[in-house]
């Protein structure tokens, strides 16, 4: 019998899914564990014959759309979906374009432990999905619900907040170009791009340069309205559980005025939180 990595994986995953898992009735007369081939093909909306050829290794080049449908039919998580595409010899397309983005509460719980480290969670279009307490204190213009790109170009106060605004603006546009290249059909990215283009000639000029680079290690100097100048280093981490999201973390060298200022901001923010004025702003949705 012909076989393939793809066929073996489909067969093993099919055996792990029960009819009740996918809302199908249990008829009590099953000779095999899990779903029947006919049920998988129905859920994925492909023919039984085509699915049989996939399992038997006689069809080795399914389209990304078929693999996505099979991933959903077999209830695969992100790792399982990635493995399915790899077994078929291709890389997966970005998933859930246009869907609502959510912040992982476990990630937020971890970030809240960083009382000296401001952190922002950004979505696939630079929407601020969440921030830890110190992140909200350091970046008053980037509360959850704001957009980094639109704030950079449409909020006049940001020009004085970034002591090197021109460099920060150019880096933000290059980062957004990098995101747009990964998800050219994402409606939220298109919406942000359209709003920025209509509202800022400076953005349009930078966009036409076509610079593209992701966020990475960088130095930033900010002028905070409450504590003055802050010299920060920035590190960016991809969120593995939510492709497209980025956790941006800032830190200061210990023993510097910036480190002291962060401690002061953290103390003030904690006092505000404990007094009952905690920021529970809704997360940005798309």
Give the pLDDT confidence score for residue 274 in this predicted structure: 55
Residue range 158-175: mean pLDDT, rounded: 95
Asked if pLDDT for residue 171 goes beyond 60, the answer is: yes
Give the pLDDT confidence score for residue 60 in this predicted structure: 81
Select, from the ranges 74-83, 151-160, 178-187, the one with the highest average predicted confidence (pLDDT).
151-160
Packing angle of the helix pair 165-182, 187-199 (nearest 10 deg): 150
Give the pLDDT confidence score for residue 1 in this predicted structure: 54
Strand arrangement, sheet containing 128-131 = 128-131, 119-122, 246-251, 228-238, 218-224
Domain layout of the chain by residue ranges:
5-87, 105-274
Give the pLDDT confidence score for residue 189 in this predicted structure: 94
CATH number of 5-87: 1.10.260.40
pLDDT band at 120 (very low <50, low <70, confident <90, very high): very high
| Phi (first) and psi of residue 46, to 5 degrees | -125, 165
Mention every residue, 6+ apart, whose C-beta is less than 8 A from residue 82: 92
Whole-number Å distance between alpha carbons of 232 and 188: 30
Residue range 132-157: mean pLDDT, rounded: 96
| Mean pLDDT rounded to a whole number for the chain | 88
Q: What is 203-255 written as a DSSP string?
A: HHHHHTTT------SEEEEEEETTTEEEEEEEEEEE-TTSTT-EEEEEE--TT
Contact 135, 118 (CB under 8 A): yes
Give the pLDDT confidence score for residue 286 in this predicted structure: 35
Residue 115 half-sphere exposure, CB side, CA atoms within 13 Å? 9
Count the helix, strand and coil residues of the chain and give each as a percent rounded to the nearest 5.
45, 10, 40
SS3 123: coil
Give the pLDDT confidence score for residue 284 in this predicted structure: 40
The neighbour count for residue 265, using CB atoms within 10 Å, is 21
Asked if pLDDT for residue 282 goes beyond 50, the answer is: no
Q: Which residue has the higher pLDDT, 215 or 13?
A: 13
pTM value is: 0.69
For 95-113, write each residue's pLDDT tens digit.
555 557 889 899 999 999 9
Whole-number Å distance between alpha carbons of 269 and 275: 10
Give the pLDDT confidence score for residue 59 in this predicted structure: 87
Select, from the ranges 122-136, 182-196, 212-226, 238-252, the one with the highest average predicted confidence (pLDDT).
122-136
Mention every residue, 6+ apart, whose C-beta is less than 8 A from residue 201: none
For 35-49, write each residue's pLDDT tens digit.
999 999 999 999 999
Residue for token digits 């696939």?
Answer: 124
The neighbour count for residue 77, using CB atoms within 10 Å, is 10
Give the pLDDT confidence score for residue 280 in this predicted structure: 40
Class of domain 105-274: alpha beta
Residue range 79-96: mean pLDDT, rounded: 78
């Amino acid at each position: 019998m012909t076989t393939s990595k793809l066929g073996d994986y489909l067969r093993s995953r099919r055996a792990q899914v029960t009819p009740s898992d996918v809302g199908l009735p249990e008829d009590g007369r099953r000779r095999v564990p899990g779903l029947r081939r006919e049920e998988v093909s129905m859920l994925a909306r492909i023919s039984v014959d085509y699915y049989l050829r996939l399992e038997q290794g006689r069809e080795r080049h399914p389209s990304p759309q078929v693999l996505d449908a099979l991933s959903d039919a077999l209830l695969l998580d992100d790792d399982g979906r990635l493995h399915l595409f790899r077994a078929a010899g291709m890389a997966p397309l970005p998933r859930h374009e246009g869907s609502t983005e959510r912040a992982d509460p476990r990630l937020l719980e971890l970030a809240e432990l960083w009382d000296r480290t401001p952190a922002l969670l950004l979505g696939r279009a630079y929407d601020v999905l969440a921030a830890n307490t110190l992140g909200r204190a350091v970046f008053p213009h980037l509360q959850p619900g704001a957009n980094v790109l639109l704030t950079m170009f449409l909020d006049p106060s940001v020009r004085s907040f970034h002591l090197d605004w021109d460099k920060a603006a150019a880096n933000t546009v290059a980062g957004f170009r990098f995101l747009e290249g990964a998800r050219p059909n994402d409606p939220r990215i298109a919406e942000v791009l359209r709003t920025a283009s209509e509202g800022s000639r400076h953005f349009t000029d930078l966009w036409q340069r076509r610079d593209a680079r992701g966020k990475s290690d960088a130095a930033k100097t900010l002028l905070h309205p409450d504590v003055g100048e802050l010299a920060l280093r920035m590190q960016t981490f991809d969120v593995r559980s939510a492709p497209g999201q980025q956790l941006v973390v800032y830190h200061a060298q210990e023993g510097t005025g910036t480190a002291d200022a962060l401690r002061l901001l953290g103390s003030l923010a904690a006092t505000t939180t404990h007094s009952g004025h905690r920021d529970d702003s809704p997360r940005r949705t798309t």
